[in-house]
Amino acid sequence: MKIEGKDQYIKITVIGILVLLIVHSLLGSISFKAFFNLTALEIIFAGIILSVIISFSFDTLIVTVKMIHASFTDKIDYAGDIHKLHQLSAKVKREGVLSIQSEIELETQTFLRDAMILLNDYKKPEVIRDILEKDMESRRANLYRPYNVLKMISHIAPSFGLIGTLIGMIGLLSNMDKTDMIMNNMAYALVSTLYGGLIANFVAVPLMGRLKEYIDRNMLRWAMIMEGILLIAQNDSPRNVFDKMNVMLKESERLEYPRSRVEERNWTTYELES
């Protein structure tokens, strides 16, 4: 945990430094007054928002905001899942599958709770696998909805920047006899393209990458849970449940088998982590 926190601090520091360098390079080349063009901002943001609202439901847009926030704040606890299913396997071995009903009611993670319900209701592992795979595919499709919103923004932002440029050039050519209008329209034309490129490449595309990583982490979590539940349904040993889930992690993140915490031969009392 300390290493993860240190890495996060270093990452934030590096991002801050790079952002300052970009801002310095922009404002070092042009004045803030020239960089901030309200007309260009209006056409860029109004065009992007209008296109997104037309293309996607409000529910999808709300989910997009929530998922972006979750990608920064949610910590997926693979180790907790492995230990939880390891203990669940021991409990089922000791007391039978019907003994997990109380744990189902306490479980807050929806995919794991649904998997535990299937384990409690079905005896055939192939039936459980088929249902969980369909559940994972459905969840994956829902997770990609926000990704598609950002993908669209990354495509249309430069286009609206070009539209702003064309409008600025039209204004420039229409007022060739007015020096002040020529300068204003020229600045508007160039800044519009800049805004479109910045929104696409410094906002939408990085967030797409972050959401893709967030989706992959969740898919790995669900695959691990499914593997553990299927092994329990097959009446496999708690050690196999632990090892086969553990091996799905990166080598640097794999856990040691908790011999000191669980004495499987004596079937001592287990407490499932909620």
CA separation for the pair 261, 101 (Å, rounded)? 23
Q: Tokens in use for 113? A: 């709770």
163 pLDDT band, cuts 50/70/90, is confident
- Write down the domain spans for the chain: 1-30, 37-253
176 pLDDT band, cuts 50/70/90, is low
Q: How many CB atoms lie within 10 A of CB 182?
A: 16
Range from 33-37, 161-165, 167-171 that averages highest in pLDDT: 161-165
pLDDT average, residue stretch 150-173: 87
Element (H, E) at 71: helix 58-73
Q: What is the pLDDT of residue 31?
A: 59
What DSSP string runs through 30-54?
S-HHHH--HHHHHHHHHHHHHHHHH
CB half-sphere exposure, 122, CA atoms < 13 A: 20
CA separation for the pair 197, 154 (Å, rounded)? 9
pLDDT digits (tens, 9 = 90+) for 9-58: 676 777 777 777 766 666 666 656 666 778 888 889 999 999 999 999 99
Query: Which 8-state DSSP code applies to residue 122?
Result: -
Higher pLDDT, 232 or 167: 232
